Chains A and B, each alone.
Chain A
């Protein structure tokens, strides 16, 4: 054997270090905890359309039910019957908000997959309860994995009651607790219809293409069947009572390679104002379930989005991305965002020196300098101006006002905004975000000074070490600034 080969073999085969058991366990604990914290615990529809990543996108893509449903109302243009319906599909959000409870039952199916013996994958049950009044929620999530050992269906349930959330895994039997702040809890209550819509519709924007494709009686109720296709190859159907517009049934379908459409999720029972069984929202682990932590040691859920890693080659160095956003009535957007080196966030302090209200944004490594509607067009351009910044646990959050240079499209709150960024630092120039979604959708529209104080300043306070929002920031000042930016300066 040539000497070079021998060296290669020695390095390959004899240079080897093994982690000891204690070290291995300690690291594994941290790794699994990190994964727990990164896991979304949001409602999910699943099934063969798992590739659609509904768990990730369902809520995220629902920005404003009211605005979306306004768009959906336009679908009446496509009304294919001679008579108009006696309801507006826009009433759906109100239905959800006015109900005391909503109960949804159904099944996930997996028509794109088979078991190793060729048989169908057994369906997975859905049993979701929403206590609208108290914003308590219990819903089923399903994950499907397939490999050499066949197809595995993992069913979990999530219970939310106040600031405590519990995820219950059935295989193996265990529960894990999460905790949200009072602000996050309030936000959840404020957006209860968004949550329910998310459970039932996924990307609700797909309703903008809805057409009525038929009629059917369900339990004696005459229903119109609405249908829409989404860009990801999915199809959504809703059965709405012809006389009241009440949502009676909903389905997700997937197109097989054969061209045949198959039901992936069937919400076959949708009930309103039914009393939930006792213990539905209990946060006690069922008998035989191991608690992986306790309500006292619950993992904290971050407010808003966590930043995505900025890639430098294949590794990440910076986290950046939107935190959360609110729309203003004039079409401007207040957006909180971040861009920091997780190992050296404190260094950013200098980048915020000298920034002023209404002035340019700070030159963070990645700067989200503008927004455009995420609907395929690049107009109008929403240019960012600095409002304030907050700092929590060594991380900085920039709060910018993004003012459009034209009339925002009607569907912009449904489609959301693409965040345009520039790289200000040398190292950041090698970043790529090709695989990440740099978009944001406002939580909702702020219409009054009181709402501004509660939600915008509340979010800022939430992301500040001292729990207070920046001083002297008011709704009127922000509205005036937007107006000033919009008004051309006289030559």
Chain B
């Protein structure tokens, strides 16, 4: 049903329907923010990425053509933006090492991302995965992307992607140390 709705949204969006854009935005804002947060573990950067993704998407307007899934398209856009962000801020990333920063520290009182305690712990665990594994895990579980599509995005074989996914889950299980069983 969601896919059927997305096809309709794509169709309407191409025709400049603002309601369709608003619906796409409402529907995918949180999931894309979650994906960006998971990849960056930095609220401000995640917001910037999501902002850029949606604004760029809105600008496509009548020129927009997409055969695949909308969620996959947006998720891929987020990943590419994140990669770009990392590339541009490589120096800062190196300075702060790979240590996961608690995302909550920069949350403002009224205008920021809110999230549950458990989400924070999960995110911190995800943040400690190597980039490639983190991308695979998040794209698979948060964006419902197929391994085949993730392989295309990462430009590796599907076996490599499945391996990254398996290793990523193993590491998460180890890091979370039974927490998920609660």
CB within 8 Å of B: which residues of A? 3-4, 6-12, 14-24, 26-28, 30-32, 34-35, 37-40, 50, 53, 55-56, 143-145, 147-148, 154, 308-309, 312-317, 343, 435-436
Which of B59, B66, B68 contacts A34 (CB under 8 A)?
B59
Partner among B77, B103, B108, B141 whose Cβ is within 8 Å of the Cβ of A11: B141
Chain A residues near B51 (CB, 8 Å)? 27, 30
CB contact under 8 A between A20 and B110, given known A11-B126, A31-B25, A315-B76: yes
User: Which residues on the B side are within 8 Å of A31 (C-beta)?
Assistant: 21, 25, 54-55, 57-58
Asked if B181 is at the interface (CB within 8 A of a chain A CB), the reply is: yes
Cross-chain contact A7 with B172 (CB below 8 angstroms) = yes
Extra contacts besides A17-B113, A27-B51, A314-B153 (11): CB < 8 Å: A8-B169, A11-B126, A11-B137, A17-B103, A19-B33, A19-B113, A23-B113, A31-B58, A50-B15, A308-B63, A309-B63
A313 and B76 contacting across the interface, CB-CB below 8 Å: yes
**Alpha-carbon distance A411/B88, docked complex (angstroms):** 48
A26 to B158, CA, bound (A): 39
A22 touches B58 (CB 8 A): no
B50 in the interface, Cβ–Cβ < 8 Å? yes
Among residues 157 to 182 in chain B, which have CB atoms less than 8 Å away from a CB atom of chain A?
Answer: 169-170, 172-173, 176, 179-181
* Cross-chain contact B63 with A143 (CB below 8 angstroms): no
| Closest B residue by C-beta to A307 | B63
Docked-complex contact B111 and A22, CB < 8 angstroms: yes
Interchain CA distance A154-B12 in the complex, whole Å? 12
Mark B88-123 against chain A: 1 for CB-CB distance below 8 A, else 0: 100000000000000100001011111110110011
- CB of B58 within 8 A of CB of A38, answer yes
Q: Distance in Å from the Cβ of A222 to the closest Cβ of chain B?
A: 40
- Are A17 and B61 in touch, CB under 8 angstroms? no
B169 with A4: CB separation less than 8 A? yes
Bound form: Cα–Cα A144–B77 in Å: 29
Secondary structure at the B interface, as helix, strand, loop or mixed, is helix
Which residues of the other chain, B, contact A34 by a CB distance below 8 angstroms?
Answer: 55-56, 58-59
Known: A16-B115, A17-B119, A32-B18. A147 touches B58 (CB 8 A): no
Q: How many residues of B contact A (CB 8 A)?
A: 71
CA distance A30 to B142 in the complex (A): 25
Residues of chain B in range 120-152 having any CB-CB distance to chain A below 8 Å: 122-123, 126, 137-138, 141-142, 152
Give 5 CB contacts A-B under 8 Å. Answer: A15-B142, A17-B33, A23-B112, A38-B61, A315-B80
Q: Give the distance in Å from the alpha carbon of A147 to the alpha carbon of B19 in the complex.
A: 13
- In the complex the two chains form, is B142's CB within 8 Å of A39's CB? no
Specify which chain A residues have a CB less than 8 angstroms from the CB of B72 in the assembled complex: 314
Cα(A6)–Cα(B38), bound, Å: 18
Q: Which of B18-40 contact A (CB under 8 A)?
A: 18, 20-22, 25, 29-30, 33-34, 37-38
State in angstroms the CA–CA spacing of A312 and B56 once bound together: 14
Asked whether, in the complex, the Cβ of A315 is within 8 Å of the Cβ of B59, the reply is no
Q: Looking at the complex, which one of B17, B22, B33 makes contact with A154 (CB distance below 8 Å)? A: B17
Ranked 4 nearest A-B pairs via Cβ: A22-B111, A435-B65, A38-B61, A34-B58
Assess whether A314 is in contact with B68, with CB atoms less than 8 Å apart: yes
Bound CA–CA A56/B65 (angstroms): 14
Q: A53-B62, A312-B80, A315-B76 are in contact. Are A15 and B38 (CB under 8 A)?
A: yes
Alpha-carbon distance between A26 and B25 when the two chains are bound, in angstroms: 12
Could you tell me if B180 and A7 are in contact, using CB atoms closer than 8 angstroms? yes
A50 to B173: give the CA distance in the assembly, Å. Answer: 52
The contact string, 1 if C-beta is below 8 Å from chain A, for chain B 35-49, is: 001100000001100
Task: Indicate the member of B33, B110, B179 with the most A CB atoms within 10 Å.
Answer: B33
In the bound complex, CA of A446 to CA of B5 (Å)? 49
Which residues of A have CB within 8 Å of B115? 16-18
Cβ contact of B21, chosen from A4, A16, A32, A343, cutoff 8 A: A32
In Å, the complex CA distance between A30 and B111 comes to: 16
| Contact of A314 with B50 in the complex, beta carbons under 8 Å | no
Which residues of B are found within 8 Å of A19, using beta-carbon distances?
29-30, 33, 113
Collect the chain A residues with CB atoms within 8 Å of residue B123's CB: 15, 17
If A7-B176, A11-B122, A20-B110 touch, whether A27 touches B60 (CB-CB below 8 Å) is no
CB distance from A103 to the nearest CB of B (A): 26
CB-defined contacts of A56 to chain B, threshold 8 Å: 62
Identity of the chain B residue whose Cβ is nearest the Cβ of A1 in the assembled complex: B181
Shortest CB-to-CB span from B17 to chain A, Å, is: 6
Contact B50 A27 (CB under 8 A): yes
**When the two chains form their complex, are residues A37 and B59 in contact, meaning their CB atoms are under 8 A apart?**
yes
With A20-B113, A23-B111, A32-B18 already in contact, the answer to whether A317 and B54 are too (CB < 8 A) is no
Contact of B58 among A32, A312, A435 (CB under 8 A): A32
Known: A20-B110, A23-B47. A35 touches B173 (CB 8 A): no
Contact of B30 with A17 in the complex, beta carbons under 8 Å: yes
Residue numbers in A under 8 Å from B173 (CB-CB):
3-4, 6-7
Cα–Cα distance between A32 and B16 once the two chains are bound (Å): 10
CB atoms of A14 and B62 under 8 A apart: no
Q: With A34-B55, A37-B59 as known contacts, state yes or no: A10 contacts B33, CB within 8 Å.
A: no
Most buried by B among A17, A30, A37, A313: A17
